[in-house]
Amino acid sequence: MTLPADWMGDAASGQKLKAGVWQDLSADAGGIIGHYRIYDSGGSTCHAQGTVSEAGGGGDMILDNTDVNPGQSIALNSWTLTEPNG
């Protein structure tokens, strides 16, 4: 999934919320999504990682559906980056 150019909102109270639409119109592979990693634009350095779930599942990142088939559209519903001491 390629993120929008302005992919995070302004920081407030030790948190940053996702900004814009985070969507992949065609999944490359199928399976159950259980974690994520956010890489730099070159795809070599991981800057963030965590768990994924559907709403109510307790994941760090919430997707509309974690059971994905090849070619299926994926939409990110919510993700918040929280400063550890915030």
Residue 43 lies in a domain: yes
- Does residue 76 lie within any of the structural domains? no
What is the pLDDT averaged over residues 41-51? 88
Instruction: Give 12-26 pLDDT, tens digit per residue.
Output: 888 888 888 888 888
Rounded Cα distance, 35 and 52, in Å: 5
Position 47 in a domain? yes
Report the pLDDT value the prediction gives residue 11, as an integer from 0 to 100: 87
Which structural domain, as residue segments, surrounds residue 43?
A: 22-70
User: What global pTM score does this model have?
Assistant: 0.72
Structural domains in the chain (count):
1
Phi and psi at 21, nearest 5°, equal: -95, 125
Average pLDDT of the chain, as a whole number:
86
User: Taking 60 as the threshold, does the pLDDT of residue 55 lie above it?
Assistant: yes
